[in-house]
Amino acid sequence: MKPISVGWAKLPGTVIMTARRRAFLPTRFHGDIRPRGQRAGTPCRIIRRCGTLAREDGRKRPDGALPTLRARIRFAVGAFLLLGLIALAVPAGAQQLNPDGSPNPTASSVKEDQLLRDMRIISGRGSIPDVKSYNIEQPAGRDWRQFHEFWLPWLGAAAILGMLALLVLFYLIRGMVRIEAGRSGRTLVRFSGFERLVHWMTAASFVALALSGLNITFGKRLLEPLIGPEAFATWSQWAKLAHNYLSFPFTLGVIVILLMWVAWNIPDKMDVEWIKAGGGVVGHEHPPAGRFNAGQKMIYWIVVIGGGTVAASGYLLMFPFYATASAGMQKAQMVHGIAAVLFVSVMIAHAYIGTIGMQGAFEAMWEGTVDLNWAKQHHSAWVDQEIAGGRTTPPPRGRMAPAE
Ligand code: HEM
């Protein structure tokens, strides 16, 4: 019961036409229209020529009738319309040229756009084995470009400038969190030399990765107008090399941090109390905390998860097409860019609290020791363990140790 299509049709022995097709087939064709001597199911081409029916084998209508006058008139009208269409097409073709007669390559862009919408991808042919390179255009590429050129810079600017604004405001309201009891002169070892080495290796490579990465997102807009295209190109080339190679110490640092501090960063009940009390930073209460308080635990997990995310997505970009195709790489770049700008904004807050935000904090990671009173104020549960284990330094000569 299949309708017969114009042009080619595989006609079985007996064809039952649809009503529409039947309308312009002579009644005598309702039967078996195989050429004589052919088996049922043999393909047979029906060519409709202005009212006459002929078969591909050139045989005329079985009745051998000549075209009617009506058919000739239809032929003449058809030819006339065809000529009219050709005449209209000629000026359109002329628009493909510039006024000076040179070709205008953008004149056909609308058609290309249409093609792209219909086909989803425009690909050509190539002679190299890498077939991916034959893809010329794909709409997903435009979506990605929109993300890269618009959404990521806006998100990045909002996250980084927003965090800076918040910290300035916080500093103006709260100021530096001071050691309320003053320095005791007695110290506690807080981080070993190895822990500090890993921290600073990760931090230094992070800063270099952040600056060189943000150069990709913002450099052309912000830096190039200031230093000029040549200096910008040279700097970008070095920055890109730094971004690639410093990824290795960064990744190593994140892995060692994960292993080295995981035991102290498992959330517990004390963290809930610490958060409820504002961590002693928002208010002036000093809730008890172990070696790492809830705020530091959050930073730890952001570093481990955020670092893992930027590393995984970064390596997908650094070694293109090993594990993903173009679409996967576009996603990897989106994940990398978003995770990176959020990571930078959180690390700015971390750097703030470790320096101008809190008295006595920086020396923990620089010298490896903290003042006992600082430790009591921020990590009282940890101090109890350290004192019990005899891991404090004796009071300086000529100075009384404060009562414990
Ligand atoms: C193992 C670590 C990392 C690896 C392997 C890595 C790798 C990459 C690669 C290959 C690119 C694309 C560069 C290009 O388009 O030519 C990139 C872009 C970028 N990276 Fe990283 N990266 C890592 C860590 C980081 C970190 C820690 C940050 C910041 C905190 C960061 C921030 C950025 C930014 C902002 C971009 C530009 C995104 C864009 O504009 O599309 N990356 N990274």
How far CA 381 is from CA of 154, 276, 286, 387, in Å, comes to: 43, 17, 11, 10
Regarding the beta carbon of 317 and ligand 1, being less than 6 Å apart is answered yes
Testing ligand 1's pocket by substitution, the residue of 212, 302, 321, 336 carrying the most ligand atoms inside 8 A of its CB is 336
Contacts of residue 208, defined as CB under 8 A and 6 or more positions apart, other chains included, come to 242, 243, 246
Instruction: Report pTM.
Output: 0.71
Beta-strand ranges (E) seen in 234-375 are 369-371
Domain 141-388 has CATH 2.40.170.20: no
How far CA 271 is from CA of 283, 295, 296, 317, 378, in Å, comes to: 16, 8, 10, 38, 13
What is the 208 CA–ligand 1 centroid distance (Å)?
10
Torsion of Cα atoms, 127 then 131 then 136 then 141, to 10° = -160
Is the pLDDT higher at 19 or at 206? Answer: 206
Query: Average pLDDT over the chain, rounded to whole?
Result: 81
Testing ligand 1's pocket by substitution, the residue of 222, 241, 254, 310 carrying the most ligand atoms inside 8 A of its CB is 310
Regarding the beta carbon of 219 and ligand 1, being less than 6 Å apart is answered no
Report the pLDDT value the prediction gives residue 67, as an integer from 0 to 100: 63
Ranges 263-267, 311-315, 326-330: which has the least confidence: 326-330
> In the chain, where are the structural domains located?
1-92, 141-388
What is the 358 CA–ligand 1 centroid distance (Å)?
31
Ligand 1 atom with minimal separation from the 251 CA: 1
Is the pLDDT higher at 194 or at 23? Answer: 194
Ranges 1-5, 56-60, 162-166, 173-177: which has the least confidence: 1-5
User: For the chain, what percent of residues have pLDDT higher than 70?
Assistant: 76
**H helices present in 319-379, as ranges:** 326-354, 362-366, 372-378
Regarding the beta carbon of 144 and ligand 1, being less than 6 Å apart is answered no
Report the pLDDT value the prediction gives residue 279, as an integer from 0 to 100: 82
Phi then psi for 45, rounded to 5 degrees? -95, 130
Q: What pLDDT band is residue 270 in, cutting at 50, 70 and 90? A: very high
Query: β-strands 46-49, 52-55: how paired?
Result: antiparallel
Q: Which two tokens stand for residue 51?
A: 């009212």
Ranges 9-23, 86-100, 176-190: which has the least confidence: 9-23
Testing ligand 1's pocket by substitution, the residue of 151, 215, 216, 334 carrying the most ligand atoms inside 8 A of its CB is 216
Ranges 3-7, 105-109, 274-278, 371-375: which has the least confidence: 3-7
Regarding the beta carbon of 340 and ligand 1, being less than 6 Å apart is answered yes
Q: What is the pLDDT of residues 201-222, one digit of tens each?
A: 999 999 999 999 999 999 999 9
CB-count exposure of residue 35 (10 Å: 0-12, 13-18, 19+): exposed
Q: What pLDDT band is residue 262 in, cutting at 50, 70 and 90? A: very high
Testing ligand 1's pocket by substitution, the residue of 147, 243, 348 carrying the most ligand atoms inside 8 A of its CB is 243
**How many CB atoms sit inside 10 A of residue 205's CB?**
22
Regarding the beta carbon of 337 and ligand 1, being less than 6 Å apart is answered yes
Q: CA gyration radius for the chain?
A: 39
